[in-house]
Chains A and B, each alone.
Chain A
Amino acid sequence: MGDSTIFDLVSDELEQRSSLSRLEARGTVRLALKEAGLDAATVTVEQMTVVLRKVLPRELKTRNVGDPAGLCEALAGRLSGLKLDSKIGQTPEAVFARLAPS
Chain B
Amino acid sequence: MLKLLIIAIDSMLISNIVLMRFLGICPYIGVSKKQETAAGMGFAVIFVMVMATLISYLLQIYVLNPLKLEYLQTIVFIFVIAALVQIVEITMKKIAPTLFDALGIYLPLITTNCTILGVAILNIQKNYNLIETIVFSLSTGIGYFIAIYLFAGIREKLDWADVPEPFKGPAIGIITAGLMSLAFFGFTGLVKM
Instruction: Answer whether A and B are interacting partners.
Output: no
Interface residues of A (CB under 8 A from B): none
Interface residues of B (CB under 8 A from A): none
